[in-house]
A and B are shown apart, each in its own frame.
Chain A
Amino acid sequence: MSHALSRRKLITTGLAAAAGVSGLGVAALLAERFGLIPPDHGGIFGVGETMTYAAQRLLMSRHSLAREFNRSEISKVAPINGKPPENETYQRLLAGGFQDWRLTVDGLVARPASFSLAELKRFPSRTQITHQACEEGWSFIAEWTGVQLSTVLNFVGVRPEAKYVAYFSLDESWWDSLDMPDALHPQTFLAYGMNGRELPTDHGAPVRMRVARQLGFKSVKHLRQITVTDTLKNVRDGLGSSGPGIGYSWYGGI
């Protein structure tokens, strides 16, 4: 009797374990297939990052719009974190009023291109008043003017296998990336104006990324290059942004 029971128990346990392991395997494959695995999925904290990102992509809308505010709600104080790049390239561009600045767009696109500030401004512009929260805890509301990233991406023609859009700052220590839902989101744009004026140097002149549905660190300043790619594994340290290397998450929608 006890013999039979233990054998039955052994078989049941074995089957359950096999089902569990294959279930996890299938889940991992599906998660990979549907883009639910963030680039910083490794390590113990990667478990949390993956759960947050996958839950966001599964449960939340890809098209929902961040709240927009009235002019009267614009913050009088718009704090900044970090100084403009001190390198020679940036100083030279700044001294020349960014006349020589170009934004390169390359990678998995049909027509790689580079744009001057004037060329970017010829695209249909968009203005929005949104809330930007720093991961540190402080926040402000500002009006941003620029061109939708999707407009520029459509202009150069994104190839169908594209999965991420990486973007790099003139400050070499900063880079980041977005998945396609956030890259093509209508509120994601290249901002060249702030509160009715040219984008100030401290806020990312000549052009910064604005990602309204994510924390401030995704809105990288002083852009120089945008690269469309199907994998982030071979871009810089492979973690999708300069954040994960020092412990910050890649996905900033939180």
Chain B
Amino acid sequence: MNSALGYITPKDVLAGNQQGTEKCVTLCALAMAESAHVAGLALQNPEVLDSPRHSTLVRVTHWIHTLSFFALVVSGIGILLAHPRFYWGETGALGTPSLFDLPLPFLDTTPTYVGPSSWGRSLHFLSAWICVLTGLLYVISGLLSQHFRRNLLPMRSQLSARSISRTVSDHLRMKRPSEEESLAYNLLQRLAYLTVVFLFFPLMIWTGLAMSPSATSVFPILVTALHGQQSARTIHFFVADFLVLFLLVHIAMVSLAGFTRRVRAMITGQSVRTRQP
């Protein structure tokens, strides 16, 4: 990394000087990451090395989301266990054909037994509120600070056929990213994060509201556009599955890139390079 940055001056970085050379591809990649220009400046000012890899707001919202998402999954399973059966359209119940049945027991509340959908629903709504409000804060600040535009929108240089095939093959070979590469999000990371933030989470909120009889009394299109309340429930379930899948891949990738260091960076915000004492 030192050699790559050796001839980049802070002036280059701040001016966003793009010449199309290999040097500038690296430069652009670095300029996109929050820590990028920090690393450049660091050559002249070692103090800046400790500037965060992730901003405070991203770190705080990341961990609040971690907790609330975990609570949402657990409570979602609790609710699901009251009726682990899915339908398409407006209605569906035992005695009507299902879309599919999960091989799970029916833990519904009876006069002698309180099922997990009781605390499940309460926990689901509490954590949904936390998740949605934190998410709003994250999205608004990400838009205002240009975090999404700079760090999550794919860079032009990442969209060349050569760059795409290299990124994909690196992932297929489970290649551990170098420190230099991990200074900026790669194309697949960017697409994954954008999909989660701007497609999956909005879909979860939409399908959630589409199951609310009071919300759909005000905005019937919430549910009619999805072919009915049971369809909304089914889509809610599938998008939740995709989010869990994302989480598993996310953890796998963090492990591949160095679990302790990555997690520490998301907690303390420390930069990739640590200052020698």
- The interface of chain A, by Cβ under 8 A from chain B, is 44-45, 47-49, 51-52, 56, 60-61, 64-67, 69, 73, 75-77, 79, 81-82, 131, 133-141, 173, 212-215, 246-249, 253-254
Q: A249 to chain B: which residues have CB within 8 Å? A: 121-122, 125
The reply to whether A247 and B93 contact each other, CB–CB distance below 8 Å, is no
Chain A interface: which of B7-15, B109-117, B184-192, B240-248?
B109-117
Q: When chains A and B are docked, how far (Å) is the Cα of A248 from the Cα of B215? A: 19
When the two chains form the complex, which single residue of A49, A66, A140 contacts B93, counting CB atoms closer than 8 Å?
A: A140
Q: When chains A and B are docked, how far (Å) is the Cα of A246 from the Cα of B117? A: 10
The reply to whether B118 and A138 contact each other, CB–CB distance below 8 Å, is no
| Min C-beta distance of B75 to chain A, whole Å | 10
- The interface of chain B, by Cβ under 8 A from chain A, is 79-80, 82-83, 85, 90-96, 108-111, 114-115, 117-119, 121-123, 125-129, 211-218, 220, 223-224, 229-230, 233
The reply to whether A137 and B214 contact each other, CB–CB distance below 8 Å, is no
The reply to whether B213 and A213 contact each other, CB–CB distance below 8 Å, is yes
Q: When chains A and B are docked, how far (Å) is the Cα of A214 from the Cα of B82? A: 18
The reply to whether A67 and B96 contact each other, CB–CB distance below 8 Å, is no
Q: A48 to chain B: which residues have CB within 8 Å? A: 122-123, 125-129
The reply to whether B109 and A67 contact each other, CB–CB distance below 8 Å, is no
Q: When chains A and B are docked, how far (Å) is the Cα of A64 from the Cα of B117? A: 28
The reply to whether B93 and A138 contact each other, CB–CB distance below 8 Å, is yes
The reply to whether A137 and B213 contact each other, CB–CB distance below 8 Å, is no
When A136-B82, A136-B83 are in contact, do A246 and B95 touch as well, CB less than 8 Å? Answer: no
The reply to whether A254 and B114 contact each other, CB–CB distance below 8 Å, is no
When the two chains form the complex, which single residue of A61, A133, A140, A141 contacts B213, counting CB atoms closer than 8 Å?
A: A133
The reply to whether A77 and B96 contact each other, CB–CB distance below 8 Å, is yes
The reply to whether B217 and A65 contact each other, CB–CB distance below 8 Å, is yes
When A67-B217, A173-B111, A246-B114 are in contact, do A45 and B123 touch as well, CB less than 8 Å? Answer: yes
Q: A137 to chain B: which residues have CB within 8 Å? A: 79-80, 82-83, 85, 233
The reply to whether B218 and A60 contact each other, CB–CB distance below 8 Å, is yes
Q: B93 to chain A: which residues have CB within 8 Å? A: 75, 77, 79, 134, 138-140
Q: A77 to chain B: which residues have CB within 8 Å? A: 93, 95-96
Q: When chains A and B are docked, how far (Å) is the Cα of A221 from the Cα of B91? A: 21
When A60-B215, A131-B90 are in contact, do A75 and B96 touch as well, CB less than 8 Å? Answer: yes
Q: A76 to chain B: which residues have CB within 8 Å? A: 96
Q: When chains A and B are docked, how far (Å) is the Cα of A182 from the Cα of B114? A: 27
Q: When chains A and B are docked, how far (Å) is the Cα of A45 from the Cα of B118? A: 11
Q: B110 to chain A: which residues have CB within 8 Å? A: 82
Q: When chains A and B are docked, how far (Å) is the Cα of A249 from the Cα of B213? A: 15
Q: A49 to chain B: which residues have CB within 8 Å? A: 122, 125
Closest 3 pairs (CB-CB, A-B): A247-B118, A48-B126, A253-B214
Q: For A79, give the chain B residue with the smallest CB separation.
A: B93
The reply to whether B126 and A45 contact each other, CB–CB distance below 8 Å, is yes
Q: List 11 A-B contacts (CB under 8 A).
A: A47-B129, A49-B125, A75-B91, A79-B95, A82-B111, A131-B91, A133-B213, A134-B93, A247-B121, A254-B212, A254-B215
| Min C-beta distance of A128 to chain B, whole Å | 13
When A48-B129, A141-B91, A214-B213 are in contact, do A64 and B96 touch as well, CB less than 8 Å? Answer: no
The reply to whether B82 and A135 contact each other, CB–CB distance below 8 Å, is yes
The reply to whether A213 and B91 contact each other, CB–CB distance below 8 Å, is no
When A48-B126, A247-B114, A254-B211 are in contact, do A138 and B121 touch as well, CB less than 8 Å? Answer: no
**Extra inter-chain contacts (19) besides given A56-B214, A77-B93, A246-B114, CB under 8 Å:** A48-B123, A48-B125, A60-B218, A66-B213, A67-B217, A73-B90, A75-B91, A76-B96, A131-B90, A136-B82, A137-B79, A137-B80, A137-B233, A141-B91, A213-B213, A214-B213, A215-B213, A248-B118, A249-B122
